[in-house]
Structure 1
Amino acid sequence: MKQSWGERSYQWISYAIVGLLSVASLYPLFYVLSLSLVSEQEWIQRNGFIFIPFHPTLIAYERLFSGSTFTNALWVSIIRTVVGTLSVLTMTTIAAYVVSRRELVGRKLFVFLILVTILFHSGLIPGYLVVKELGLLDTLGALIIPMLVDSWSVLVLMQFFRGVPREMEEAAEVDGVGDWTRMTKVILPMSKPSLVAIGLFIAVSHWNSWFDAFIYLNSPDWMPLQLIMRNMFANANVGADFNPSLVNNPAERVSTESLKMAVAVIGTIPILLVYPFLQKHFTKGMYLGAVKG
């Protein structure tokens, strides 16, 4: 079918707008990456504005990984994200399956209580006191256990589980399976898109969180990468922690800004690498979660 001049113009304008928005979105990331690949000498010579490095170098990354503090923080973030995401998905899925059962006595009350936790939060001080009384201060559990159940995800999964064809569950009941087998063998395989979408949200939340570590942790052994990044951007003299002044060759020195940008790159790339592999399920899960129920 031949398109009219107006339709072609509309498409070209749409492509131009999307292209400009894409460039505007990618430019900050490209600038941060470029700035992390320059030495202190080039950074000074070009007055700190670098779009394409003339002499790219990995000195900033070498300085970061040469220190145990940064390496330990990176591992803490990875462990927190993996363990936290799996734990939240497990607990959230179980809770959603339970409240999705229409035969559950008091189901509306449970759903109401879940809604209350979404609308009203306990506050910073009560939350700190709970973590303290549980003996979780200065432990990795302080970063995982308080976020163990995501109420919003419970409601989304509940609606999705209720949309699973009843015939599938009746067939499982005829075979004599219990609730656990029905959930793991029937419900969850059909709910994979929603689980992936929610899992990605939870993983991003764990990976980017730093304020809870700032409140609950004093020992540097359990500080995640995002808290280290926050401290680096808040402290203008953070470069001294990696001893850049001890390097005699000016071309091998690294500026504080390059160190900060290198941390930002390392803190951003893992999530960017995960998303393309989950994009298909993520998009499908978002649409299904929006229309089910």
Structure 2
Amino acid sequence: MPDDATAPTPDGVSPFRLLVVPGVNPAKWLRVWSERLPDVPLTLVQSTPGDQGSALAGPDVDAGLVRLPVDRDALSAIPLYTETSVVVVPKDHVVTAADEVTAADLVDETLLVPADDVLAWAEPPGTAPLVDPPATTADAVELVAAGVGVLVVPQSLARLHHRRDVTYRPVTDAPTSTVALAWVTDRHDDRVEEMIGIVRGRTANSSRGRAAGGEPAARGSGTGATGTAGTARSGTAKSGSTKSGTAKSATAKSGTAKSGTAKSGTAKSGTARSGTAKSGTGRSATGDRAAAAARRRGNAADGGARKGRGGRPR
């Protein structure tokens, strides 16, 4: 690891140190990091699956893109994706005739298992090579090209070590490899949380444990104390509100005690609370006409009521 991997910038900002194992391409996440935290440099720390656990536990790494499994007692991990495994063979190998193969198709092959193998075979197919196991996947690919045997690895590793004289095919029932973001549980800080958000696809404005937004304020349903006439915005802007005299003023002038009720007929009289189809729209286009009509109807209804009771006040 270079000496400046953990050195602060001239502004005193320490870089975020992200461990990466072979085959993992962090480019898309690095791009988002640079957009969201342009003042915080990100340093890649190369490791291997065999060393990833100890590297994460050490003081020189903040988080890592690793291959599962990891020690869950000390580390937290978020699985990101799972890779298909492929068999790497010479270009003229018989399995290249098929688009994909199974482990059973490899039973007669010499299977190379490097020391840095990341696949957990319960029962590897094929036979063991007569040579010592290769130390690395790169060494194993060299042996494949020489015709010594075949190699089963995650597809990203086959691409990483691709060469012209070998090719690969998917093995449908081989063990797979899952890539995860991992960090020491006790060292979970704001920058680790930022990386978690990036790999999970959170937007820049979202944050863990915070609601996306508060509830909108309640919207008013009318003009305050307008009762029925103030709802649904129906009594039109001019007739059902200030200019036409609200429900309160219309009530005062028409006298609703008994005159604006059954005997006067609510449909045509336009009682105080109606703002109805006939009174609140067609017949009360302006405030002056509505108020005058209310006074006339109130007087007429009041006279009719006295006549019905023999002219005697109640």
**Range of TM-score over shorter length:** under 0.3
Bigger proportion of residues as helix: 1
Q: Which structure would you say has the larger RCO, counting Cα contacts within 8 Å and 6 or more residues apart?
A: 1
What TM-score does the superposition give when structure 2 sets the normalisation length? 0.22
Bigger proportion of residues as strand: 2
